[in-house]
Amino acid sequence: MVPLSTIITNVRLRYESVSGGSLVRWADDDITEFINQGLETLAEATGFYERYASVPVALDRTWYDVRGFTPETVIQVTSIWSTLRNQWLEPIDPNELDIWWEKARGTPLAFFTKGIYWFGVYPASDTDGTGILQVHFRAIPSRFTHTQAVLAELPDDFTTALEDYALYEMACVDRQPKRAIQLFKSYQEREKNLADFVDHRLRNATAGRMGKFAGRMGRRFV
């Protein structure tokens, strides 16, 4: 785990080596701001930061606002576990339901999302305070604030993406567009590598389709 102070040091080192810049050109706060923006951009693009929040099921309630249940900015709800059914809710498009779906009451079976803040359940619950929806999501991690802050979820080798992003922002402010664009391309390559890693973690370990035993496990047993 690489602390913020190390990332700042690396940024300074790289900035000075290419531009001959001075130590006083950029304050630590400025560089921290750029690193944090890089962190947010990286999380938006790759979804590497995975969390879940527990949402109490409420009577007659169709819509839930994720802002009320987690301090992090949710960028993608991936799945929801219901303790009422001991089952995953099925993600659906409510347009596939019949026109009376909103009147139904029972134990939630399915969920859908609207905009960036809201998810809905079908049917709305007919009981209050007896169950939890465990909402799994991808999010924007909290910003680095202290120099010794670390982000365990980000593999160490990808902190270089944050360095590239900070240097890119600095080059923009310095009005060096060509250098800025080069640095941004370098950042984008690292971003793509992280996105590939996040999306294809199961590439070599998957069991494939149930019943077919494809994939590594299938090859071993079939």
Partner 1 sequence: MYTFYDATNDTLDRLSDLENVIWSRAEIQLYLKDGYDNFVRQTNPFFDCYMVENLPPAGNWQTDLEKYFAQQRPGWGLTDERLMYTQNEQTTAAGSVSQERFHGTEGKYGGSYGPMATGMTSPGDRAYVTGSDGLLANAVDAVPVKVPGGTLPDRVTDLLRVTFNQRTLVGISSMQAKYLDPAYEVRGTGYPQFFTWDKDGLMFLRVIPAMAGVAVYDTVDGSWGTMTYTTDTAVTVVTTEVTGHNTGGYGMLVHRTDMFPTEGPYGTPTRVHPTDLNCRVEVFRLGHSLDDGIFELPDNYLKYVIFWAMYKAMLRDGPGQDLELAEHYKQRFEMGIEFLTQRRARMNPERFSHFRGMGQFPVGPMPFGMGDPQPPYPFGTPEYDWRL
What is the contact surface with partner 1 in residues (CB under 8 A)? 37, 40-41, 43-45, 58-63, 65, 67-68, 73, 75-79, 88, 90-92, 94, 96-104, 109-110, 113-118, 122, 124, 128, 140, 172-173, 175, 177-178, 180-181, 184, 209-211
Nearer residue to partner 1 within complex by CB, 23 or 96: 96
Q: Which is nearer to partner 1, 100 or 221 (CB)?
A: 100
C-alpha radius of gyration, the chain, whole number: 22
**67 or 219: whose CB is closer to partner 1?**
67
Cα 59 from Cα 128, distance rounded (Å): 4
The nearest distance, CB 139 to partner 1, in angstroms, is 10
Looking at beta carbons only, is 109 or 132 nearer to partner 1? 109
CB of 128: closest distance to partner 1 in angstroms?
Answer: 8
Give dist(CA 25, CA 177) in Å, integer. Answer: 18
To partner 1, the closest distance from the beta carbon of 199 in angstroms equals 9
Q: Nearest approach, Cβ of 31 to partner 1 (angstroms)?
A: 14
Closest residue by Cα to residue 146 from 3, 1, 2, 31: 3
Identity of the residue, 9 or 19, whose beta carbon is nearer to partner 1 in the bound complex: 19
- Sign of the CA dihedral running 209, 214, 216, 220: positive
Question: Could you check whether the bond before residue 123 is cis, i.e. omega within 30 degrees of 0?
Answer: yes
The whole-angstrom separation of Cα 171 and Cα 177 is 7
Neighbours of 106 (CB within 10 A): 12
